[in-house]
Amino acid sequence: MENKKMINYQYEKEAFSTFKNGIRREWALTNGIGGYAGSSLIGAHNRTHQGYLIASLHPPIERYLVFSKINESLSVFAAESTGSSDEKFHSITDTLKKGSVPAVSAVYNLETSQHKKNGETCYTQGQEYLVSFSYDGSVHYTYQAGDITLKKHICLKHGANVCAIAYEIENNGPDASLTLVPLFNFREHSASSRPEDFHFRTSLIDNSLCLIPESHPDTAILFQTSEGIFSDHTPMFDIDMQLQTEVDLETDGLDCHYCPHEVTVFLPAKSHKQISVLCSVIAADETFTDITADTAFDILKEREKYTKSLYETAGIHDDFADRLVLTADQFLCDRASTGYKTVLAGLPWFTDWGRDTMIAFTGLTLCTGRRKDAEEILLTFSKYIRHGIVPNMFPDDNAAPLYNTADASLWYFYAVWQYLQYYPDTAANAFVQENIYPHLKEIISAYKNGTDFSIYMEEDGLIHAGSGLDQITWMDVRVGDWVATPRHGKPVEINALWYNALKVMEELARLYEGDDVLVTGGSATSSSSEVSVTGVSATGLGSHVSVTGVSATGLGSHVMTSHNYAALAELVKASFCQKFWWEEKGCLYDVVDGDEPDDHLRPNQIYAVSLPFTMLSKEQEAKIVAFIKEHLYIGCGLRSLTSDHSDYHGIYCGSLPKRDAAYHQGTAWGFLLGGFLSAYAKVHDHSPECTKELLSLLEPVRHHLTDNGCIGSISEIFDGDAPHNPRGCYAQAWSVGETLRAYMQDVLPYM
């Protein structure tokens, strides 16, 4: 295997010439068990969900901010001590231990932050000393303060709630000291704190500070340095840190952190020093050992080795794809309840969602060569299927899964089918047949015969979903008794997915059961019944439809054969083509139910073109793609509603009610880009001109990876109106997964 060069995002002084410029770019790190870290390019936090260690206490959920950040300052001594380096070290150390501070000629405060003081916003602008920033799976800051160069490397230990900070300090001037002020917390990662919220039992042994929160007496925060003098810090609280993103969301945006100690490290004149700092979450009764100057650097090397393995496993060797391979890893993590891998839907606040996982699945696992992870994800969600429904989401408080979704189960078929396309071998088929196929049959039966949330098949073979206050598609905003986009009836993507699921089952039943096997009431019997569909065409139902062997109201206890699935799929196709095609607009209705189809022009119809099995004529598919490109494509995603509709909201901002009103009513979504790119490639036959156009359509995403939002990632949503600012989660699994999938399947092979 060749020595793969790592992706590196590099930023110089002009990228953070002002506080405002520097704070709008963010970075994120993850640890593979639900924990994460994040801040801005200049090191000032701008949202509640930021810190150097947000630990997952029950992977991948119960996430708590425990370690907010470290503020550094450098002091240059006025008079240089005499004697050897060791003698000077002991002299300065004795002085510091006595609580005295040598006279200084200069102080450089590297802290970068925003606070609210006496009603005014105040800035501490340590970014003035920042000369470069880079991200390569870890984070690297370089500061120049007088004659001192300080490099600060931050990474998370994979598979553990451990943040490592490795300092490299080159002092080309006189004697100096580095002061570190760690800021601690213990709050749910979406909350905020006040001074009265902090209740810790603390102990300090040598260079190890242990904090045990009274609310979680079995858990400890362990902060360690490889050297330095610990002393009391005044004040004990960092009060009213102002988080600009939260302010923009019309909250006070204020937070508070606990800083009981500071650590001072002597920096001899003309010296080079390495310092390791670790913050870990451990069991309160767990024993620990001191760390050395190499400890954090060793963890940094482990992370670099792990990152390189991601590129090697994917084996792509394409710059754009490799950037997404690096980011894709951030969403894959362990789930303690199953012992298998799962997918976090988005950073920083989403947990694992069924719909998001199945849509992101191909890009995150199959395109990156992570077969074992793919299998574990399919198993994770299979274990929680209830009444034929794949879980909608797992709450962050370890409560039971929620099941209000009509599409997660159908996307599960898509994920399984993609898995078999990437791994068409005996082992993969055995895995699906033994572990997954029975659940697929369960889902089909539930949808045909009816299940929760008014999900059932009607006489025309189409799936009806939702009633009342149900929010069961991906457009799922509900506030109290208000459902913003109910979409009750027969949603277009649900029925495109239903057809796709039936065709997948037609193939799997033929492969796993044979064409002439009918299972009734749990026993296999021979069946010679003919299955036929008459009067069915791709453009309409004609005068009569009959499906022999398939009841329009369900098969009861029958589990269908390959022929049965094929016949039902033909009925669905005929009904879909007749009821969803909107001739006047040259596209599809979003929802049909009764006599009045929904007049909202939305992007959901793209899946009637992009899925593996589709129903429309090529001419119809081309019209849909052209319509979406003209009216919904905005660069990094597709608008959720055309801008000429009276319900359209072009900016996603303000208070929660304002944002909820815009969420699916014009706001653009990153994950939809993948389906659009695949559909575009399909209707243009993957021609050279098409590939060139696809690369052009992807150019805004390339820009977004480096210049706006979270470095290296793709946001959840974007404003429908220009300049299409990123909003919502700064890193979204299905945005990344679908962009990578479409690029790998429909662009890169044709370049």
Sequence-separated (6 or more) residues with CB below 8 Å from residue 5: none
Residue pair 377/386 in contact by the 8 Å Cβ criterion: no
Peptide bond preceding 597: is omega within 30 degrees of 0, i.e. cis? no
pTM: 0.92
Tell me what pLDDT residue 85 has: 62
In the chain, % of residues over pLDDT 90: 82
Give residue-wise pLDDT tens across range 163-210.
Answer: 999 999 999 999 999 999 999 999 999 999 999 999 999 999 999 999
Report the distance separating Cα 305 and Cα 360, nearest Å: 25
**What would the DSSP string read from start to end of 408-451?**
HHHHHHHHHHHHHHH--SHHHHHHIIIIIHHHHHHHHHHHHH-B
pLDDT value of position 554: 45
Q: pLDDT averaged over the chain? A: 91
Question: Omega before 749 cis (within 30°)?
Answer: no
- Taking a C-beta distance cutoff of 8 angstroms, is the pair 352, 342 a contact? yes
Q: How confident is the model over 223-233, as pLDDT tens digits?
A: 999 999 999 99
pLDDT tops 90 at residue 143: yes
Q: Residue 211 has which token pair? A: 């904090």
| pLDDT tops 70 at residue 716 | yes
DSSP for residue 386: B
Cβ burial 378-409 (10 Å sphere, 16+ → b, else e): bbbbbebbeebbbbbbbebeeeebebbbbbbb
pLDDT in tens, 560-598: 899 999 999 999 999 999 999 999 999 999 999 877 888
3-state secondary structure of 58: strand
Residue 486, φ and ψ in degrees, nearest 5 = -60, -40
Answer positive or negative: Cα dihedral of 19, 22, 23, 29: negative
Distances (CA, A) of 473 to 303, 351, 700: 38, 18, 28
Query: Does residue 21 sit in helix, strand or coil?
Result: helix
Question: 639: left (phi > 0), else alpha (psi -120 to 50), else beta?
Answer: beta
Q: What is the pLDDT of residue 482?
A: 85
How far apart CA 147 and CA 420 sit, in angstroms, is 60
Strand order in the sheet with 200-205: 9-12, 130-135, 139-145, 148-156, 162-171, 271-283, 219-225, 208-213, 200-205
pLDDT per residue over 110-121, tens digit each?
999 999 999 999
Q: Which amino acid is at 105?
A: S
Chain region(s) in the chain for CATH 2.70.98? 9-75+107-200+227-277
Long-range interactions of 283-287: CB distance < 8 A, separation 24+: 283/218, 283/219, 283/220, 284/212, 284/217, 284/218, 284/219, 284/220, 285/218, 286/220
Q: What is the 3-state secondary structure (H, E, C) of 256-275?
A: EEECCEEEEEEECCCEEEEE
Could you say which architecture CATH assigns to the domain 9-75+107-200+227-277?
Answer: Distorted Sandwich (2.70)
pLDDT over 60 at 12, yes or no? yes
In angstroms, rounded to a whole number, what is the distance separating the alpha carbons of residues 509 and 441? 10
Return the HEC string of 102-149.
Answer: CCEEEEEECCEEEEEECCEEEEEEHHHHEEEEEECCCEEEEEEECCEE
Beta strand pairing status for 36-40 and 148-156? unpaired
Selection from 30, 728, 746, 652 nearest residue 333 by Cα: 30
